[in-house]
Structure 1
Amino acid sequence: MSKVKMTKGKFTRIQNCSDSNGIIAAAAMDQRGSLKKSIEKARGTAVADDVLTEFKTIVTKVLTPYSSAILMDPEYGLPSLEARAPGTGVLLAYEKTGYDVGVKGRLPDLLPEWSARRLLESGADAVKILLYYNPFDDKAINSVKTAFIERIGAECAAVDVPFFLEPLAYDDNYDEKGLEFAKIKPKYVTAYMEEFSKDRYGVDILKVEIPFNVEFLAGSRAFKGGEAAYDKQAALGFFHSSAAVAKRPFIYLSAGVDDDVFRESLELAAEAGVGYSGVLCGRATWKEGVPVFGEKGGAALEEWLLDRGVKNIQALNEVLAKGGKPWYSAYGGLDNIEVVG
């Protein structure tokens, strides 16, 4: 493999988001609208923005000693970064949360007061973008989305900050939680991993879904009975086929599943021999603490996190230590990267 050139800023900042073994063991805390709704449901009343900041600060304080990085939003989360453990890398979300349901295509949009430069100036080691993407959608819709990602990639390159892209598969013709979409989801995840590995997008790390719906995997912890979409051998094959087309380091997101379900999926990835480079895990670690916070307040949440939350993230780290591969292994190892600039 020929040497890979990487700019100093990108290389250093990806390392800042990784542990000593080059594994990205990051906690995700950039939830906004969904988190607010969950807290309001638990409290039975509307909550102010500073309540979200309080929640994020407590999670950051308790969990970052066990994380290589924290993913945060600049809308509510910047004050919470002061509570992070020393040496914890920072990823900041650049996209608006959600999408306009009145416009076809789940088109992305950016936080209007922010730029890659401003995120960097606010302490970001990396910029994260979430993109709803159907590889088989109308070409006009996907042209808008791919141009959008090209612009973000160029913007990040201009200020030498890493670009983490989180594509999420969907198809408006299917129920994304249903059996029929589960059957075709592996094809969609594989297609977007191949597409956004292309140099034109400037993506440094792909943050991707487990390449199948675990709720339809026969024999898995998440399987609820009924008709399965795949068995274990098929699942191992999906890990292989999606990883084979990735030309960038990739990490898995937890997608809100329970912590034991996410760990089981990562163990399957390891069994498949997939070279994934870590995780960005949010709700799987702390979601059960939301009703605790909503009903009993911050002190109760901190107590819960110090027990259950820490156990969740330590168990996840054990799985990562066994199955994760350094991000630079995608490029043939550290010795095969030439840092320039």
Structure 2
Amino acid sequence: MRKVSAEKYQALVKMSNPEGIIGALAIDQRGALKKMIATHKEKVEVEDLILFKESVSEELTPFASSILLDPEYGLPAAEKRAETAGLLLAYEKTGYDTTIPGRLPDTLAFWSVKRLKEAGADGCKFLLYYDVDESKEINERKQAYVERIGSECLAEDLPFFLELLSYDATIADTTSKEYAKIKPKKVIEMMKVFSDPRFNVDVLKVEVPVNMNVVEGFGEEIMYSKQEATALFQEQSQATDLPFIFLSAGVSAEQFQETLRFAKNAGSSFNGVLCGRATWAGGVIPFAEQGTQAAKKWLAEQGRSNIEELNEVLMQTASSWQEKLVR
């Protein structure tokens, strides 16, 4: 078991449900959210992003253990969250520089872990794109970057959530069959890398180890049998001694819930979720076309139903992070 400070431990408790499971709501999207709204609205203002985040926070945090927001547009939404919900703040700039190779990370220019904590954060989240097969020079730059953030979080006694997104520098489409063949290795190996204590990561936020759309019983085209997929979930779970939570990766609420059930049956010891679009994405259309009140109505009805169903599945499938961390 890993040891963390009493302050970090209490912050993690604040972001979890009473059973020690993280049922967090993610709406730290910036560029992606703007594109979603722009699909249904001619002109998208900064105020639109702020209002939608506020609506999600107000309507759904009574049913979430915590909420992940960005400090650029999300701080007003942080003020609207339920008293029972902890607060995670994102530290990374949205997107990455496409003019140079490597999808190199960068932090928000006017923020530090100290400032995130002063803004009320119970935890710091940082997103890293990582290809275990990329050049040593690129990956060592990324590792050094994560070391710096880990040291900041250690100095401020703030839990460090590292979100890892796999990719391959030679394959543009991570949803392709070509990428599905190599995804398990990419996901599992990068988890091993960042489980090293030198990075001071407290919780890993990760993808499931296989594209479920090509798993027997989930998609029309089968590349992995249920038995093969089960073995990959087991391998992922054994790849780290850190608490790890799953991201929804934009899939539907129903598919995400079925994936969590599959993970449980496979023997995965995952400790919760940070679920975004699978919960609230359907609220974007009424927001863009009819305004805030229409979005709130959708969130209060279908959004709430999505998150309550997810919570029910979590209680049946996830395990407490307190089995992996001690004070």
TM over 0.5: yes
Q: Secondary structure at the match of 1:173?
A: coil
Question: 1:208-227: per-residue Cα shift (whole Å, max 9, x none)?
Answer: 0011111111221xx2x24x
SS at match of 2:60: helix
Q: How far off is 1:177 after superposition?
A: 1.1
Q: Aligned residue for 1:57?
A: 54
- Whether 1:28 and 2:26 are equivalent positions in the alignment is yes
Task: Give, as a single letter, the amino acid of the residue that structure 1 aligns with 2:318.
Answer: G
CA distance in 1, matches of 2:223, 2:198: 35
Size of the alignment, in residue pairs? 326
Deviations 1:101-147 (A, max 9, x none): 00100000010100000000000000000000001111000011000
Q: Paired residue for 1:242? A: 236
Residue aligning to 1:128: 125
Superposed displacement of residue 5, structure 1: 3.1
In structure 1, the residue matched to 2:280 is: 286
Alignment correspondent of 1:334: none
Contact kept? 2:92, 2:127, Cα under 8 Å: yes
What does residue 325 of structure 1 align with?
319
Residues 3-30 of structure 1, C-alpha deviation per residue, up to 9 Å, x if partnerless? x432122111111101100000000010
Match of 1:305 among 280, 299, 303: 299
Q: Tell me how far apart the structure 2 counterparts of residues 16 and 135 of structure 1 sit (CA, whole Å).
A: 33
1:284 match: secondary structure: helix
Q: Where do 5+ consecutive residues of structure 2 fail to align?
A: none
Equivalent pair of 1:253/1:280 in contact (CA under 8 Å): yes
Query: For each residue in 1:25-76, what CA deviation from the matched residue of structure 2 results, as whole angstroms up to 9, or x when unmatched?
Result: 0000100001011111111x12111110000000001110110000000000
Q: Which runs of 4+ in 1 moved over 6 A?
A: none
C-alpha distance in 2 between matches for 1:18 and 1:309: 20
Q: Is the contact made by 2:134 and 2:169 (CA closer than 8 Å) also made in structure 1? A: no
User: 1:268: Cα distance to partner?
Assistant: 0.5
Q: Normalising by structure 1, report the TM-score.
A: 0.94
1:267 aligns with 2:261: yes
Q: Secondary structure, in 3 states, of the residue corresponding to 1:142?
A: helix
Q: CA RMSD in A?
A: 1.0
SS at match of 1:288: helix
Q: Secondary structure at the match of 2:235?
A: helix
How far apart are 1:172 and its partner, in Å? 2.1
The residue that corresponds to 2:179 in the other structure is: 181
Match of 1:93?
90
Deviation at 1:234, TM superposition (A): 1.1
Decide whether the 8 Å contact of 1:198 with 1:247 is kept in 2: no
Aligned pairs (5 A) from 1:156-235:
156-174=153-171, 175-220=173-218, 223=219, 225-226=220-221, 228-235=222-229
Report percent identity of matched pairs: 48
User: Which 5+ residue runs of structure 1 have no aligned equivalent?
Assistant: 332-336
**SS in structure 1 at match of 2:324:** helix
Task: Provide the rounded CA distance (Å) in 2 between the counterparts of 1:269 and 1:37.
Answer: 31
Secondary structure (helix, strand or coil) at the match of 2:223 reads: coil
Contact 2:113–2:152 (CA<8 Å) still a contact in 1?
yes
Q: Give per-residue Cα distances to partners, 1:247-291, cap 9 Å, x unaligned.
A: 200000001100000001000011012111000000000111111
Q: Which residue number in structure 2 is paired with residue 139 of structure 1?
A: 136
Distance of 2:165 and 2:225 partners within structure 1: 23
TM-score, reference length from structure 2: 0.98
Deviations 1:65-108, CA, capped at 9 Å, x for gaps: 11000000000000111111112100000000000000100000
